[in-house]
């Protein structure tokens, strides 16, 4: 089967994968769109396993304190690079997590996500 630009675009729209990855996936599965989606999922899972050991030495520490200064929350969110940690989206995420932690009004909570 011929791998057309329209087929590559369709796979890219479905998966969000890069154009070259979509083209390679379609070539590997001889143009079958559903098999290409599965191929990309497996490839993504394999990449995630490889990245699991990467160090997250950068990040942000955020805090939220009540107006009466009697309660608060402090959080730490880590990432791999300072480029990411200084980005607006990352900073907004860290702020949102601090606000959510403050709203929980609980005792000490330690939540780690990998």
* Model pLDDT for residues 92-112, shown as the tens digit of each residue: 999 999 999 999 877 666 666
* Model pLDDT for residues 46-62, shown as the tens digit of each residue: 666 666 677 788 999 99
| CA distances from residue 29 to 9, 10, 63, 108 in whole angstroms, order as listed | 16, 15, 49, 50
Residue 110 is assigned to a structural domain of this protein = no
Residue 98: which domain range? 58-104
Number of domains in the chain: 2
Same domain? 47 vs 66: no
Record the pTM. Answer: 0.52
Residue 64 is assigned to a structural domain of this protein = yes
Residue recorded with tokens 């009540």:
66
Same domain? 11 vs 45: yes
96, 102, 105, 111 alpha-carbon torsion, rounded to 10°: 60
Specify burial of residue 53 (Cβ count, 10 A radius: 0-12, 13-18, 19+): exposed
Same domain? 46 vs 66: no
């Amino acid at each position: 089967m011929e791998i057309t630009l329209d087929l590559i675009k369709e796979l890219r729209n479905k998966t969000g994968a890069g154009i070259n990855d979509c083209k390679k996936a379609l070539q590997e599965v001889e143009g079958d769109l559903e098999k290409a989606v599965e191929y990309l999922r497996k490839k993504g899972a394999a990449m995630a396993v490889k990245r699991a050991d990467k160090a997250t030495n950068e990040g942000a520490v955020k805090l939220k304190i009540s107006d009466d200064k009697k309660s608060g929350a402090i959080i730490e969110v880590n990432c791999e690079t300072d480029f990411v940690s200084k980005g607006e989206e990352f900073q907004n995420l860290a702020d949102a997590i601090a606000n959510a932690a403050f709203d929980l009004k609980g005792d000490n909570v330690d939540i780690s996500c990998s």
